[in-house]
Amino acid sequence: MKVKVLPSNRDFEARVDEPVLTAALRQHLNLPHSCKGGSCGTCRVRVLSGRYAYPHGRPLGITAAEESAGHALICQARALEDLVIETREIRHVTDVEIKSLPCRIERMERLAHDVMGLWLRWPAIEPFTWQSGQYVDVMLPGERRRSYSLANPPHDGRFLELHVRRVPGGAFSERLFSELQAGALLHMEGPLGQFVYRPGERPLLLIGGGTGYAPLKAMLRQVLETEARREVTLFWGARTDADLYEDGWLRLLDAKQQRFRYVPVLSEQVAGDACEHGLVHEAVLRKVPGLAGYDIYAAGPPAMIDAVRAALPPQGADPERIYFDSFEYAPS
């Protein structure tokens, strides 16, 4: 089936047994998306012509009314015939070529009891760049893939830095913790995703849950290392202080940099004055008056993203200026 994308007038081929988004990414067209699980709504398009189907019924991220108005979520929809779809594309992101590359594990470091830092090196002859906030897919056998955010900004582009949390029994993360060693070869595709840092004057509010800190670290470094004035506040939520694996570095940065504020938030441990207690979005609501002035970037588990999207706009945050990346896990 042929899928034509407006307004860019690009087209690509999609099989009936694969989501339209998967086909686009496979053919190196980085259409807007985040969770790839049908819940966040980022991949919504208008279907101008052609039939499609959802194999598991209408996904959670789209209402019946939106569907009747001609909208569809392409991370779930399969094309039944040729389609013409209209989508918002961020041109500077869609124009970057998605590459499929072998990568060697240059270094591995346990950042926390269940988080591994990985530094990957790609072939020197291949130019490769990305934007702070984007992710890469690590390819597994059987056409399976796992997404990991890049934790370093492109101006420090010698390696790709990933932070991988161990999921018991997880096809990739368990293998990483139990088997893989420095020197091993992985295959990756990227850069992917439209969760990218947008330069500007407004203060930044970064909200991360667990390894959702990774893409925010890239943005934080970009702002503090390449821009002169922009103010940044980072709220980092975790269960216990052992999970805040770069807490020491962030506290030092906070003490050194007047325009940076770091607020650690623990949900399962009361840690005195050194941390906020509760869920990370609750701490934001308590500590940040005047949310209207901020550009807000949130990354982490789907429940955290849903809470941020629901709770911040009623307190003044501009929904158009909340950007998010939901770490939905891949369907089996």
Ligand X SMILES: Cc1cc2nc3c(=O)[nH]c(=O)nc-3n(C[C@H](O)[C@H](O)[C@H](O)COP(=O)(O)OP(=O)(O)OC[C@H]3O[C@@H](n4cnc5c(N)ncnc54)[C@H](O)[C@@H]3O)c2cc1C
Distance of closest approach, residue 64 Cβ to ligand X, in angstroms: 26
Helix axes of 302-311 and 280-287: crossing angle, nearest 10 degrees: 30
24 belongs to the binding site for ligand FES (CB under 6 A): no
222 belongs to the binding site for ligand FES (CB under 6 A): no
32 prior amide bond cis, ω within 30: no
Cβ nearer to ligand X, comparing 194 with 291: 194
75 belongs to the binding site for ligand FES (CB under 6 A): yes
**In the set 24, 73, 160, 238, which binds ligand FES (CB under 6 A)?**
73
Nearest to 101 by CA among 119, 127, 130: 127
Check residue 223 and report its DSSP letter. H
Closest-by-Cβ residue to ligand FES is: 75
Q: Compute CA distances 176 → 99, 125, 181, 272, whole Å.
A: 23, 27, 8, 35
Q: Are 150 and 160 in contact (CB under 8 A)?
A: yes
Cβ nearer to ligand X, comparing 144 with 202: 144
Cβ nearer to ligand FES, comparing 86 with 282: 86
Distance of closest approach, residue 206 Cβ to ligand X, in angstroms: 14
Nearest to 214 by CA among 266, 281, 160: 160
Distance of closest approach, residue 192 Cβ to ligand FES, in angstroms: 11
Nearest to 134 by CA among 222, 216, 23, 206: 216
Residues that contact ligand FES, how many (by CB under 6 A): 13
Distance of closest approach, residue 178 Cβ to ligand X, in angstroms: 11
Cβ nearer to ligand X, comparing 178 with 181: 178
41 belongs to the binding site for ligand FES (CB under 6 A): yes
Q: Are 152 and 165 in contact (CB under 8 A)?
A: no
78 belongs to the binding site for ligand FES (CB under 6 A): no
**In the set 87, 131, 149, 152, which binds ligand X (CB under 6 A)?**
149
36 belongs to the binding site for ligand X (CB under 6 A): yes
Helix residue ranges, H only, the chain: 20-26, 64-68, 91-94, 173-178, 213-226, 247-256, 280-287, 302-311
Q: Please choose which of ligand X, ligand FES, none residue 41 contacts, taking the beta carbon within 5 to 8 angstroms, the exact cut-off set by kind.
A: ligand FES
Distance of closest approach, residue 247 Cβ to ligand FES, in angstroms: 30
Name, in order, each residue with C-beta under 8 angstroms of 116's C-beta and a sequence gap of 6 or more.
108, 109, 110, 163, 164, 166, 173, 176, 177
Distance of closest approach, residue 162 Cβ to ligand X, in angstroms: 6
> What does the block give as tokens for 285?
């609501």
Cβ nearer to ligand FES, comparing 40 with 298: 40
> What does the block give as tokens for 117?
């830092």
Strand segments, DSSP code E, in 78-142 are 78-79, 83-86, 99-112, 115-121, 135-140
* Footprint of ligand X (CB under 6 A): 35-36, 135, 146-149, 163-165, 167, 169-174, 193, 211, 214, 325, 327-330
Q: Which residues bind ligand FES (CB under 6 A)?
A: 33-36, 38-43, 61, 73, 75
